[in-house]
Structures are given as structure tokens and as C-alpha cells.
Amino acid sequence: MLVAIGLVMGFLGPFASERAPVVKRYVYWMICMVGGGLIGIAIDMLLDRRMPATWRRVLAVSVAMTPAVAVFVLATEAVVMGGPLAWTSYLRLLWQVWPISLAVMAVRALAWRRPPARVETRTIVAPPLPQAEAAFRRRLSARRRGARLIAVEAHDHYLKVHTDAGAELVTLRFADALEELAGAHGWRVHRSWWVAAEAVEAVRWRRGAGEISLACGLAAPVSRTYAPVLKEAGWF
């Protein structure tokens, strides 16, 4: 950054430095910007912990570095440009060095500013406790009683219970099934659908209606009434 600023200053040639030969002008500004910038960075590092407020510290550093940088510039001007080592020249340089120092430290603060901290949240879907589904599972046949529960679908006075071992019809009201599955990890996503949380693979929402993709290629509708439950779980 300091080298780039030195090249720009050498090209612009401010403070009558454009009268100097091109090579001398670029060498002069490169030494002044890199050397003076390093002085400012050293002071900034010393004040970092004492003054955490960025822009207040930038102002303080630019003021604190100006006397030392002015001495450095005066010496560089004498060596490279053949300028006089005079008190009047030093006073003149103070008013030239300070705005440049302020600009350089401000650019550095912008370039090195810390990005805002990002807090990421993740919904962890824990498997249901065995006892939470025990009463409901006892209604299933022996083949599906220990299978993975995917969804429960209401059909009039029957329930179609979907598992990874196939589907099975059970004589039970949907409201009673929801009561027995109250402790299980799952959600009611439609007036006639309950799904197990660990079986959810994707959720899509289009034109006021949604669809939820479940394990084993099963799909279930998502109504507007129950969509907030999935949104709270992080699926929207």
C-alpha cells in the first residue's frame, strides 16, 4: 500500500516536486511514503490497545507521527533533492506532512479493518427417543415396529404409516396419532400429514404452497398454516 501511494505521489509531483528530474522525484516520494508510513504504523501499533476506537486512533497517530516524519522527510529532501536543513523548512513541512499522514493512516485503517463477526446458527435434528414413539409403534406389525418412521398420513378413519420397511394402514384417528407422537421429533406439516424430522431431505415453497421431500422418495404437502414450524427449524 505504501509503495503504491509513493508511486502515485511521484507521478503527481505535489509541493513543487514536479520540477525535479523524474528518477529523483520517484525515489524521493518512495522513500518518504514508505519510511514515513512505517513510522506511523509503529506508533499505531503502540496505541492499538490504549485506543480501540479506530478513527480516533487514526487522528491521534497522524498528529503524533507528524514531527518525526517531518524530520525524516527533511533529511530525505536534503539527501535526494539537495534541499536545505533549515528550521523554516521543517516548519513548512509540518503542515505538508500532517494531511498526507492523516490520509495514509485512514487508508490503512480501511484496508486493515476487521470484518464484522458472523454468527452462524445450525439446526441440529436429534433422533427421537425410543420411548417417545413406543405407544405408536406398538400399533404396527412386527416387521415395521422397529423400522425407521418417516411419516404418518391421514385417510378418513385410517392412518397410512410410512416407514423404510414400507407403508401400513392403521385404524386410528389422526388427532390420536398426533397425541401419541407428541414427544417424538417431528412436525405436523399439513392437516393430514405428520413427518419425522430426521426423514426430511428438502423443502420447497412455491406460490403459497410447499412440498417436503422425505426419505425413500416420499413427498408430502406443506400448508401455509404449518409452514412456520419448518421455518423455525431452519428449512426456509
Distance of alpha carbon 190 from alpha carbon 205, whole angstroms: 14
User: Does the pLDDT value for residue 49 go beyond 80?
Assistant: no
Ordered structural domains, the chain, with CATH:
2-111 (no CATH), 130-232 (2.40.50.1020)
Residues 142-158: tens digit of each pLDDT: 889 888 999 999 987 89
Residues 194-236: tens digit of each pLDDT: 999 989 999 988 777 789 999 989 999 999 888 888 888 887 6
Give the largest CA-CA distance in the chain.
104
Helix and strand totals (H; E) in the chain: 8, 8
More confident residue, 119 or 105: 105
Predicted local confidence at residue 231, as pLDDT? 83
Distance of alpha carbon 24 from alpha carbon 31, whole angstroms: 11
Beta strand residue intervals within 58-208, DSSP E: 149-155, 158-163, 166-171, 186-190, 193-196, 200-206
